[in-house]
Amino acid sequence: MSGVEALLRWLDLAGIAVFAASGALVASRKQLDAVGFIVIAAVTGFGGGTVRDLLLGRTPVFWLRDPALLAVASAVAVLVFFTAHRVENRFRALLWADAVGLSLFAVLGAEIALIAGAPPWAATLLGVATATFGGVLRDVICNEIPLLLRKEIYALAALAGAATFVLLRMQGIWRDPALLAGMAACFSIRAAAILRGWSLPAYRARPGRHHPDRD
């Protein structure tokens, strides 16, 4: 395994750990039991890649082929179960770790889709799905409207990262610099959004207008 391969392997496990931790923190807010922590951690960590694999027809899906991934997600879930109440300021730390996971998964997800034969526009989208749908499934199962749909420059950062990677690859740029450039694009946009509080305008009904319910 080359140095870059080894680094990516570690980043991949780190990305799963981070997303698993975000899932376990939502489980702590919902006061689930230990099984619930593990299920939500796994869904958050693997959900995006699972959706990508299913849409492409890459089965068995990736986490059924590598027990280390599930071991990492479960260990993180158990750790959070026993320590979540002790950690102050954990949401801020998580926010930054999550930005690393987002950057990594957007780019690696797009690469897997390209290798599976998806056209560039579809590979870009599947990169975004890999990076974001774990969180969507986490929120749907926990009965919340997905954070992705309500807040901030999140999906857009993933889109920028995946698109940068795919465009560079289409231009014949080697894989490793393209991966790094894509991750940098995603991470810098997301970091700016966190630091400056950027967010997309939400839809607001105009005052004085009523929105009759459809039913």
For residue 157, the one-letter residue type is A
Tokens for 178, please give them: 């393209």
Q: Rounded to an integer, what distance in angstroms lies between the CA atom of residue 121 and that of residue 168? A: 13
Span interacting with a second copy, options 3-11, 55-63, 100-108, 169-177, rule CB under 8 A:
55-63
Q: Rounded to an integer, what distance in angstroms lies between the CA atom of residue 133 and that of residue 140? A: 10
Compute how many residues bind a second copy; rule: CB under 8 A.
Answer: 67
Neighbours of 100 (CB within 10 A): 18
Interface pattern 86-105 for a second copy (x via CB under 8 A): -----x--x-----------
Instruction: Fill in the DSSP letter of residue 207.
Output: T
Could you tell me the CA-to-CA distances from 6 to 2, 13, 51, 53, 72 in Å, in that order? 6, 11, 25, 23, 17
Binding flag, residue 195, a second copy (CB under 8 A): no
Helix ranges restricted to H, 151-174: 155-170
Q: Which of 13, 14, 30, 191 binds a second copy (CB under 8 A)?
A: 30
Q: Shortest Cβ distance from residue 201 to a second copy (Å)?
A: 7
Tokens for 168, please give them: 């560079």
Judge contact between 152 and 195, C-beta under 8 A.
Answer: no
Span interacting with a second copy, options 1-9, 162-170, 185-193, 198-206, rule CB under 8 A:
198-206
Interface pattern 157-186 for a second copy (x via CB under 8 A): ------------------------------
Span interacting with a second copy, options 4-12, 100-108, 141-149, 187-195, rule CB under 8 A:
141-149
Judged by the rule CB under 8 A, the positions of this chain that interact with a second copy are: 25-37, 39-40, 50, 54-57, 59-61, 64, 67, 70, 81, 84-85, 91, 94, 118-119, 121-122, 125-126, 136, 140-151, 154-156, 199-206, 209, 211-215
